[in-house]
Amino acid sequence: MKMYLISDNVDTYTGMRLAGVEGAVVHEKQELKEEIEKVLADKEIGILLLTEKFGRDFPDVIDEVKLNYKLPLIVEVPDRHGTGRKPDFITSYVNEAIGIKL
């Protein structure tokens, strides 16, 4: 299965292209919907990477796909502006998951 990126900025898109991940850059809600429709039509795409901005700005669009489709798996990735998560979120996540304080 392939991965596909929908990004709100060229920097994240360029970095992922260097890693071999195809994708598109969109800015408006309608553009996002159209690109997601293309992804849903391509049965080879198993993971859809989205920059976190889309999750914050258009949660209704993202939630609709998550609730109504088994594939692709949607993963929100931080972009060049950083993440909306607290700085130690990975450590906290591991602590919760396995019960060991790091």
pLDDT of 2 reads: 92
CATH class given for the domain over 2-98: alpha beta
Q: Which residue has the tokens 């796909």?
A: 65
pTM: 0.76
CA neighbor of 33 nearest in space, from 47, 19, 50, 11 = 50
Instruction: Pick the closest to residue 6 from 91, 37, 18 (CA basis).
Output: 37
pLDDT at residue 16, as a whole number: 86
Classify 75 as helix, strand or coil: strand
Domain ranges of the chain: 2-98
Contact criterion met (CB below 8 Å) for 24 and 6? yes
User: What CA–CA distance (Å, rounded) separates 26 from 6?
Assistant: 7
- The single-letter code of the amino acid at 83 is T
pLDDT computed for residue 100 by the predictor: 62
Look at residue 25 in the predicted model and tell me its pLDDT: 95
Structure tokens given for 55: 């999750």
Per-residue model confidence as pLDDT tens for the chain (102 residues): 899 999 998 888 888 898 889 999 999 999 999 999 999 999 999 999 998 888 888 989 999 998 999 899 998 887 666 566 666 655 665 666 666 665
Residues 5 and 14 sit within 8 Å (Cβ to Cβ): no
